Amino acid sequence: MLLVLQSLAGCSGAPGGRPESAGTSVQRLLDRWAAAVRDRDESAYLAAVDPAAAGYRTERRRAFASLAAVPLASWEYRLVRTGGFSPAPGDGRRVTAETELRYRLDGYDTAPVTTSLRLTLVKRADRWYVAGQEAPGGGGPLWEQGAVTAVRGEHSLVLGVGQDRARLRALADLADRAVPAVAAAWPGTWAERVVVEMPASLDRMAALLGAPASHYRGIAAVTTGEAGDGGTSRALTGDGAAPADRIIVNPEAYGVLGDFGRRIVLTHETAHVATRALTSPATPLWLSEGFADWAAYRDTGRTARQAAPELAAAVSAGRLPQALPEDADFGFAGEAGRLARAYEEGWLACRMIAEQWGEEKLVAFYRAVGGHRRREGALEAALREVLGLGQDEFTERWRSYVAAGLGRSTG
């Protein structure tokens, strides 16, 4: 490693005449590159790109232009580590560098979004350049897909690629309605603003999330963020803040919804943004997804049968659920009816708590579960602490509530 670093060391001197290390030289390059983005200086941005990498320079010019409408509060790169080196065309040397891009959107993020980037760096005539990049886990920022259109709402920022401004404005209007609705359901400290992204297609949405498109077909939106469970919250078609949250809309599934369905989706996803800081590995999906649906349906006047048609059909056919849904029941790859029923079962559990113990108790229960770091024992402890009963008793009470609401005896 010492030999590698010596080989990569820059010839420019550090203060005091000491040779500058490779890591320092590379970080200085990344700092200049980041400053060019913050200053909206295309010439300085492209000056950091390898002159011999014609295709990559074209790609970077396009990406830089795509950022024009994005309101940036900060933008920086951090070098994590460098790999081995190899010869580059001409007399240069090539290395890979694991880096992090950290950025904040002005007026919306109070902490940075972090994206991993693997950069290819080339040193030519004692100067470092960026010659290529990839996102190791797949995905990448929206502006890598094309020119971004930005629409600001009262409580929202909507960023779209390949979408007309009128559609994005309608999305911002719904998000603006969702924020106060969720604030009424979830009292406490959260940002009370959301960032919504709408890519050009389902395939582009999947590319943003670094997953197969089949995982999101029929899913109207997802919320990404740095939750304790590392997961992604989903909305089916039909005290602290987590400022890095993004609501990503599937333009195809969202497009087939009516006004009411779109309202439910945006409110559901906004609820995930609000509750993110109190969602932990201890929080079962039936609670996080059920609470988000409860917040979304809270003031709609919809009956249980209207809001839970899949579960209503199952109960009418004599298939009353025996237990609350497992996390696996919310999987993308499973049977579509089971996924819908899992959401509906979780919603009815939260609705029951709100009706029988009160909305404040539902919020307190959610917080109590999320206050644990591990799943084991968390639900039982929160049930006894907040609601005064054990898990078995709660499950039986929920089964009776489902049966009564959907018209079936528990016998």
Domain with 262 in it: what CATH number? 3.40.30
Q: Are strands 148-152 and 233-236 parallel, antiparallel or unpaired?
A: unpaired
What is the percent of the chain with per-residue pLDDT over 70, rounded to a whole number?
85
pLDDT: which is higher, 78 or 94: 78
161 in the same domain as 124: no
Residues 263 and 364 in one domain: no
Residues 6+ apart with CB under 8 A from 396: 410
CA dist., res. 182 & res. 298, Å (int): 9
Whole-number pLDDT of residue 378:
95
What is the CATH number for 102?
Answer: 3.10.450.50
Q: Which of 61-75, 230-244, 292-306 is predicted least confidently?
A: 230-244
Q: What is the pTM of this model?
A: 0.87
State residue 332's pLDDT score: 65
Q: Residue 127 — φ and ψ, nearest 5°?
A: -130, 135
d(CA 134, CA 184): 42
**Residue after which a domain boundary falls, among 239, 272, 305:** 272
pLDDT digit string (tens) for 170-202?
999 999 999 999 999 999 889 899 999 999 999
Q: Which of these ranges, 330-334, 370-374, 377-381, 403-407, has the smallest mean pLDDT? A: 330-334
Between 285-297 and 336-356, two packed helices, what is the crossing angle to 10 degrees?
Answer: 70
Based on the domain organization, do 284 and 405 belong to the same domain? yes
Instruction: Tell me if 140 sits within 8 A of 197, measured CB to CB.
Output: no
Q: Are residues 91 and 167 in the same domain?
A: no
The token duo for 55 is: 């295709």
- State the Cα–Cα distance between residues 98 and 77, nearest whole angstrom: 10
Average pLDDT estimate for 90-111: 86
The string of pLDDT tens digits covering residues 112-139 is 888 899 999 998 888 899 999 998 776 7
In our burial notation (b when 16+ CB lie closer than 10 A, e otherwise), range 337-355 reads eebbbbbbbbbbbbbbbbe
Q: Are residues 156 and 124 in the same domain?
A: no
Of the two residues 189 and 4, the one the predictor is more confident about is 189
% residues pLDDT > 90 (the chain): 71
Residues 286 and 355 in one domain: yes
Q: What is the pLDDT of residue 6?
A: 34
Q: What pLDDT sits at residue 125?
A: 82
Of 101, 27, 29, the closest CA to residue 67 belongs to: 101
Last residue of a domain, one of 137, 168, 189: 137
Same domain, 174 and 239: yes
Question: CA nearest 24: which of 68, 72, 79?
Answer: 79
Q: Are residues 118 and 154 in the same domain?
A: no
Q: In the predicted model, what is the mean pLDDT of residues 42-54?
A: 96
Which has the closest alpha carbon to 333: 257, 234, 227? 234
Q: Are 47 and 82 in contact (CB under 8 A)?
A: no
User: Looking at residue 242, what is its pLDDT?
Assistant: 46
8 and 123 part of one domain: yes
**Residue 4 burial (C-beta neighbours within 10 Å; 0-12, 13-18, 19+):** middle
Both 296 and 392 in one domain: the answer is yes
Tokens of 124: 């030519």
CB contact at 8 A, 228 and 304: no
253 in the same domain as 168? yes
Average pLDDT along the chain: 87
The residues near 294 (Cβ < 8 Å, ≥ 6 apart) are: 185, 347, 350, 351, 354, 362
Structure tokens at 305: 């049968």
Among 248, 272, 296, which residue terminates a domain? 272
Could you tell me the pLDDT band of residue 295, with boundaries at 50, 70 and 90? very high
What's the pLDDT at 257?
A: 96
Segment 343-401, tens digit of pLDDT: 999 999 999 999 999 999 999 999 999 999 999 999 999 999 999 999 999 999 999 99
pLDDT at 270 > cutoff 80: yes
| Number of domains observed in the structure of the chain | 3
pLDDT (average), residues 72-86: 84
- Residues spanned by the domain of 252: 141-272
Indicate whether 386 and 404 sit together in one domain: yes
Q: How confident is the model at residue 77 (pLDDT cuts 50, 70, 90)?
A: very high
